[in-house]
Amino acid sequence: MNPALSLTTLLAVLCLAGAATPEYKAQVVTAVTMCAKEHNVDLKQVIEIMKQSKLPESKEQKCVVGCFYEKMGYVTDNKVDWEKVKALNPQKYDTPELVEKVNQVTDICSKVVTEKATDICELGVQAIKCLKEEAEKVQLPKPDIKFDSA
């Protein structure tokens, strides 16, 4: 299993960005790039795997997800801060209908993933799993995030 697999789901769910703002896309690219480097995951593999929509399995994969959550500001006191996640939702989509869908997904997951984590890597995985499953139910589009340097 490829260590970068976690980012597939991460970007497919968190970035749910058919038409994300350039600022949000840049923030995602920066966070993913930094986290891949910090956890010794090849960015080219991450980019290739982003198309697959699988959940992370290895420790490295999970830690890239947790790292991403921290870099994006989605973690407060070892918990997912769903209000911060939701605050960026309007930057992820360009239509009110899609923003409403992603808000619904966020609200559901805010009730499912509520516990503090002793391991940020595991916290990221719990959140990603919920977001992925709920996003699929409402048929949110896949992300359109470009990595120029890979």
For 26-62, the DSSP string reads HHHHHHHHHHHHHTT--HHHHHHHTTT-----SHHHH
* CATH superfamily to which 5-137 belongs: Pheromone/general odorant binding protein domain (1.10.238.20)
pLDDT for 113 beyond 90? yes
Q: Which residue has the tokens 């993933």?
A: 113
In the chain, domain spans: 5-137
pLDDT, tens digit, 9 for 90 and up, residues 85-99: 999 999 988 889 999
pLDDT for 17 beyond 60? no
Alpha-carbon span 86 to 45, nearest angstrom = 29
Residues in the chain: 150
Question: What average pLDDT is seen over the chain?
Answer: 80
pLDDT, tens digit, 9 for 90 and up, residues 38-87: 999 887 766 665 566 677 777 887 888 889 899 999 998 899 999 999 99
User: Using CB atoms within 10 A of its CB, is residue 95 exposed (0-12), middle (13-18) or buried (19+)?
Assistant: exposed
